[in-house]
Amino acid sequence: MAGAAAAATAASTHAMRDASAAAAPPVYVFFNPEEAAFIEAAVERLIPADENGPGALEAGVPSFIDKQLSGAWGAGERLYRSGPWHEGAPTQGYQLPFTPAELFRHALRGIRDDFRQRGSQPFGKLAAQEQDAYLKSLETGKLELDGVPSKVFFESLLSMTIEGFFSDPVYGGNKDMVSWRMIGFPGAYANYYHTVDQHGMQFTRAPMSLSETGRGVIHIHPDIPAGQHAPPVKKGK
Amino acid sequence: MVTQLPETDAVLLGVGLVGTILGRELTRAGLKVVGLERGEPRFTVPDFQGPAMHDELRYSIRKALMQDNTRETLTFRNTSKETALPIRRWASFLPGTGLGGAAVHWNGQTYRFQDSDFRMRSRTQERYGKNFLPDDVTIQDWDVGGAELEPYFDRFEYLLGVSGKAGNLKGQKIAGGNVFEDPRSRDYPTPPMKEPYGSALFRKAADKLGYHPFPQPSSNLSQPYTNPEGMTMNACMFCGFCERYGCEHYAKASPQTVLLPVLLKDKNFTLRTNTQVLRINLDNTGKRATGVTYVDASGREFVQPARLVIVGAFALNNVRLLLLSKIGTPYDPQTGKGTVGRNYAYQTTSAVEVFYDEKTNINPFMRSGANGTVIADFVSDNFDHGPHGFVGGAYIGEIMTNGRPIEFHPTPVGTPAWGAEWKKAVVRHYNHTAVLNVHGSSVATRQNYLDLDPTYRDAWGLPLLRMTFEFPDNDIRMSAFVTGKAMDIGRAMGGQRVDGGPRKPPYTITQYQTTHNTGGTIMGADPSTSVVNRYLQSWDVPNVFVIGASNFPQNASYNPTDTVGALAYWAADAIVRQYLKQPGPLVHP
């Protein structure tokens, strides 16, 4: 009885937590409200909800981008940042002085000013078709957004949207592994030895996130040392 | 303040694949060896364990195991008329760092180069005449042959436990193996891996077209194996997180799984990680190395004197270390004189996608780094080049490594890059697409080379390496021809649609192609056109040996690691059997 009661309580707590999570607006630490409104509307156009399942907004991609930009990646982790700065050829890759955080800040400011200048209502209030047309103009046009070529910003936004949609949920996007369920990617699961030669099989196992404990069969060899101070290995032939 | 350390017999610059092999062979010969590794110490446990290792964002996209660009990168331009600019983030190729080097995050594709590769210039002239090669193509012979290297290939493959099927045992051709390979003295240490679905579809189509498909030789093992060093490995689980990742299962051959633990127990070996070598020091004659200067993780500078210096870093870093140390004459593309940095080459790759109906589950996530089925009918000089007017070739294979969705979400040509149509196409094709790779050779030319950048510097204030590279016309023609053959195979694989196309210029550093950067410290018979002799000994400073893919005078069709491993054992053998008995030049041109 006690067990059943506890289970019932746990279930209802769980349900309550789910409900409140669904209702609670995302907390942004990088984006200001105006920027967040643009990002939320834009990612939903880049990967919209449809009959196949949720889009980038519902998957939590804006939170993913917010976390990335407020952390080490946003600050220019692994980005060589010494000058001098030249535009260079397209084959030479990214050559702007901006960190990803700076790039987004400048570009979003530029977009805000662009809308103000044109006397248009903000991006988030436009019809879907108009939003798509604006995103297309960023992707292909020559607009400069407070020093950031709109193409470069669009490329960053699209690649971060795809990253957030398909990366492990521990990073804040791909909520409940929705994208993985949609395409049939099993995630961090680690062992297909017994299925790789079952050609064409339908793999139906639920996906696994990094946040779950290992469910795959992981073989740790007891005779192989982990480091310098481990015991000697067995001599073979 | 610089700390002078006591002299050691030999110092290793880099403790990756080459450093670990040389360390083992030299300590075995009784030498005291110091290994300097610029990156972190890392081991299968705890550093490569799942599920944390199965993180596409961290390892594939943010490139956690790769060289940190903020400390050290290189600059790039397509031609010497342009200003080279720093590669601010890796994309086209991914130099690794850390103990075990790039052999931690490699895929495990383990092919032997062929004798025709080692004699590429002379064979081309013999078979097609003196005027077949354009003037600007500077391919040359390696001054070592396939038969000479066979025992060293054999030794390296038995160290790794390579899974494969011989196609030529002592001259006897064996159907189902690579019938184009040079004779091997014995079969692979372990049988081929299981064949995934897409590979089986490829094999059937290639068979039907009269080609000779065989299982790709793989250092992801098909079964447990104990190597001659006493190291035991496990069977690969096909987890789909191989290249760009460390292997949690002890199933991918890497220094950590095949040799390093043995070396680390040797009293004659000292490992120092987080040590950045600034230069090799020379005496006042400039003809003898006295040791190296390095900086530790805290920024303290040390001089490590050594009687023998082994440069075994990543190919690009081998070149840079020689240039920074002023060993040898830098190559000048204007005059064609000088050798260090000469004959930088790459790999000419392309891909073909076969889109199937929704009932065909390819299951791309059930893969490993080096599983798959390939043909070598268009590799190297395995076919008549006479009518085609190019040299070199490519293998074609269904060798998919993963289904990780940030990078792998194939859509047919013409699909928009985002929006509703894109999403529908991704969902439709994700599990129903097989991808063929065309992995091709790269000739050396007069225009493509490496030198030091005049402007940009690393975190220690030293000039970055500068790369000048464009795909040579020869390789563009090769890619067009072999990719056409791959399209034909793709069409015979029973899909609904086949997309793809050959490699086209310009070369861009913005798109991943391969990390098979070669040349710059090439081997050869003539000191005016090579940096090291046939034993990989510097022509200029005989107590310096430089070992790696930087020794390749040009790049062949196959992946380079097997040949790098064979060269490492070949050089180690020469050092132990010849050099140590009588230190000095091993070749007198």
Model pLDDT for residues B521-542, shown as the tens digit of each residue: 999 999 999 999 999 999 999 9
* Distance, CA of B148 to CA of B530 (rounded, Å): 20
Catalytic residue among B54, B432, B516, B588: B516
- Tell me, what's the pLDDT at A213? 59
**Residue of chain B whose Cα is closest to the Cα of A77:** B70
Report yes or no: B542 and B585 within 8 Å, Cβ to Cβ: yes
* Distance, CA of B166 to CA of B182 (rounded, Å): 10
- Asked if pLDDT for residue A149 goes beyond 70, the answer is yes
Contacts of A167 in chain B (CB under 8 A): 56-57, 61, 406
Give the CATH fold of the B2-579 domain: FAD/NAD(P)-binding domain (3.50.50)
Report yes or no: A176 and A21 within 8 Å, Cβ to Cβ: no
Please state the φ and ψ torsions of residue B319, each to the nearest 5 degrees: -65, -45
Contacts of B261 in chain A (CB under 8 A): 224-225, 230, 233
Tokens of B516: 């098979």
Across A60-76, average pLDDT: 98
Tokens of A63: 């939170």
The neighbour count for residue A169, using CB atoms within 10 Å, is 21
**Secondary structure (3-state) at B567:** helix
Contacts of A213 in chain B (CB under 8 A): 51
- Asked if pLDDT for residue A199 goes beyond 80, the answer is yes
Please check whether residue B59 touches A, CB under 8 A. no
* Distance, CA of B431 to CA of A186 (rounded, Å): 11
- Asked if pLDDT for residue A154 goes beyond 80, the answer is yes
- The number of CA neighbours under 13 Å toward the Cβ of B248 is 24
The bridge status of strand A148-149 relative to strand A144-145 is antiparallel
Across B185-198, average pLDDT: 98
Residue reference for tokens 């040799």: B259
Q: Mutating which of B244, B249, B271, B273 best tests the A interface, going by the most A Cβ atoms within 10 A? A: B249
Across A92-114, average pLDDT: 98
ipTM score above 0.90: yes
- Tell me, what's the pLDDT at A20? 47
Across B573-589, average pLDDT: 97
Query: In this structure, which amino acid lies at residue A62?
Result: P
**Residue of chain A whose Cα is closest to the Cα of B75:** A92
Average pLDDT of chain A? Answer: 86
User: For residue A33, is the peptide bond before it cis, meaning its omega torsion is within 30 degrees of 0?
Assistant: no
- Asked if pLDDT for residue A97 goes beyond 90, the answer is yes
Query: In this structure, which amino acid lies at residue B270?
Result: T
* Distance, CA of A153 to CA of A149 (rounded, Å): 7
Q: Is B429 a catalytic residue?
A: no
**Secondary structure (3-state) at B395:** strand
- Asked if pLDDT for residue A231 goes beyond 50, the answer is no
The neighbour count for residue A115, using CB atoms within 10 Å, is 17
Q: What is the DSSP code string of A105-138?
A: HHHHHHHHHHHHHTTPPPGGGS-HHHHHHHHHHH
Where are the domains positioned within chain B? 2-579
- Tell me, what's the pLDDT at A1? 36
> How confident is residue B499, by pLDDT bands cut at 50, 70 and 90?
very high
Residue reference for tokens 């060798």: B399
User: For residue B46, is the peptide bond before it cis, meaning its omega torsion is within 30 degrees of 0?
Assistant: yes
Model pLDDT for residues B399-425, shown as the tens digit of each residue: 999 999 999 999 999 999 999 999 999
Contacts of A196 in chain B (CB under 8 A): 194, 196, 238, 363, 366-367, 371
* Distance, CA of A211 to CA of B221 (rounded, Å): 29
Residues with Cβ within 8 Å of B497's Cβ and at least 6 positions away in sequence, in order, are B354, B355, B412
- Tell me, what's the pLDDT at B101? 97
Please state the φ and ψ torsions of residue B506, each to the nearest 5 degrees: -80, 155
pLDDT over 90 percentage in chain B: 99
* Distance, CA of A117 to CA of B71 (rounded, Å): 42
Which of A213, A160, A165, A159 shows the shortest CA–CA distance to A185?
Answer: A165
Model pLDDT for residues A206-223, shown as the tens digit of each residue: 999 998 854 444 444 445
Report yes or no: B181 and B381 within 8 Å, Cβ to Cβ: no
Residue reference for tokens 């939903």: A44
CB contact under 8 A, B236 and A163: no
Across B277-286, average pLDDT: 98
Where are the domains positioned within chain A? 23-79+96-237
Report yes or no: B76 and A88 within 8 Å, Cβ to Cβ: no
* Distance, CA of A43 to CA of A60 (rounded, Å): 10
Model pLDDT for residues B359-375, shown as the tens digit of each residue: 999 999 999 999 999 99
- Asked if pLDDT for residue A227 goes beyond 80, the answer is no
Give CA separation, B1 vs B272, B303, B329, B459, in Å: 19, 11, 31, 19
- Tell me, what's the pLDDT at A23? 55
A109 CB burial (10 A radius; 0-12, 13-18, 19+): middle
For residue A92, give the nearest of B257, B265, B509 by CB distance. B509
Please check whether residue B87 touches A, CB under 8 A. yes
- Tell me, what's the pLDDT at A14? 46
CB contact under 8 A, A191 and B55: no
- Tell me, what's the pLDDT at A215? 46
> How confident is residue B441, by pLDDT bands cut at 50, 70 and 90?
very high
- Asked if pLDDT for residue B331 goes beyond 70, the answer is yes
Model pLDDT for residues B70-99, shown as the tens digit of each residue: 999 999 999 999 999 999 999 999 999 999
Please check whether residue B406 touches A, CB under 8 A. yes
- Asked if pLDDT for residue B47 goes beyond 60, the answer is yes
For residue B239, give the nearest of A78, A191, A227 by CB distance. A191
Q: For chain A, report the end-to-end CA distance as a whole number of angstroms.
A: 61
Tokens of B180: 């184009």
Report yes or no: B552 and B518 within 8 Å, Cβ to Cβ: yes
Give CA separation, A69 vs A154, B65, B550, in Å: 15, 21, 38
- Tell me, what's the pLDDT at B396? 98
- To the nearest whole Å, the CA of B158 is away from the closest chain A CA by 12
- Tell me, what's the pLDDT at A50? 97
- Tell me, what's the pLDDT at A233? 44
Across A62-88, average pLDDT: 97
Which of A114, A116, A119 shows the shortest CA–CA distance to A134?
Answer: A114
- Asked if pLDDT for residue A13 goes beyond 80, the answer is no
Tokens of B117: 């590769």
Please check whether residue B285 touches A, CB under 8 A. no
Please state the φ and ψ torsions of residue B453, each to the nearest 5 degrees: -75, 135
Contacts of A230 in chain B (CB under 8 A): 261
Across B152-172, average pLDDT: 98
* Distance, CA of B333 to CA of B342 (rounded, Å): 8
Query: Alpha carbon B110 to chain centroid distance?
Result: 10
Give CA separation, B110 vs B259, B551, B563, in Å: 17, 18, 9
Q: Which residues pair with B64 in a beta bridge?
A: none
Across A101-116, average pLDDT: 97
Dihedral over Cα of B94, B100, B104, B106: its sign = positive
B208 CB burial (10 A radius; 0-12, 13-18, 19+): exposed
